[in-house]
Structure 1
């Protein structure tokens, strides 16, 4: 295509440094102060809420936790409850047999080994029942404001669409994102990517050629971006 000034040059795909700078600026403008999506009042209730969110929406967790906190909202009180009573409340979150046992057991461990206090330590958190690396990272970031970059399948998908990683698993994606973005941005960026993905770049709503970030980073992308599933 040409104009009076000559042929129109096709837009160029951004380089990786350009993508990083653009994504940071765009997400900061859209979500300058991203709220924590899970309702909680302290590190313990956040820990339990994050555990419940595995393979469950944050919205559903927030519907379930008020009744759970009425039953028990501290390690001391939760450790006194039966697994059956916990499971009866959290059943709508899915995987309730495993989650109820984990909540009961981790509460007991917190009382017996940590004086009822959630440890401000990544390795210690990962030893608790039902608490994996991602859950521990969320608690470190959101309860203790320690820089972490928890990566779930949604962040993994967007990072691949945006050319920030080619990792085949969330562990590699986490390493790549930590290397690309300043440490002081990690906690907010984790949430900003989640909110952007839900609003503009969902699994079905965008294939790498629809949302503004995808089309700005890769204006010449011709085919759907294939994501390596973790």
Structure 2
């Protein structure tokens, strides 16, 4: 397989929808080559066709290290390596804390926290080669916990703490940026399994005006700063949210 040799390379997990897909398009518009990672291959293929030859769709599950290793190998073969890793894959399974939600808790920890950690570990050698960027998608919930979001918040607090340690450890070779959005108009609440909580969350999110494109623009801005500047943390809320 021949190597495509122009523009920085961004790997985006959870690229099949929402912030991940929007970030892929925003970075591609700035001249990046983008590797789209997710489990939903049909959506990835559609997005890759929309972006064009600067994109490659790779089926990968952040809870499966072997699939991430295979993805990293393919990125190196096609693009020659990775300059930016956007750890975006995540789920928000809200609901009252109870044993009935045990499977949801496990899934959130494995995807939101361990998935980001594993993806970073797998791609780290590539990121170190040319001065890379790691962008970890956290949440306002990584700062403020509320009823029904305890384990989700725990995963995002974990992302924040791990990111700060990683930032200090990897300086100056790799910059680490944490993005903490509030409510964004995406399909995130549609995956909630607790019926009453899902209904309330979908009603709330239907009123949200902040889009995935808004967040993607911020991510693109952060990674395009000159290497002498590191943006460590960006907190984003809808303008009307206290």
Question: What interval of TM-score do these two structures reach, taking the shorter chain for normalisation?
Answer: under 0.3
Larger radius of gyration: 1
TM-score (norm 1): 0.26
TM-score (norm 2): 0.25
Structure with a larger share of its residues in strand: 2
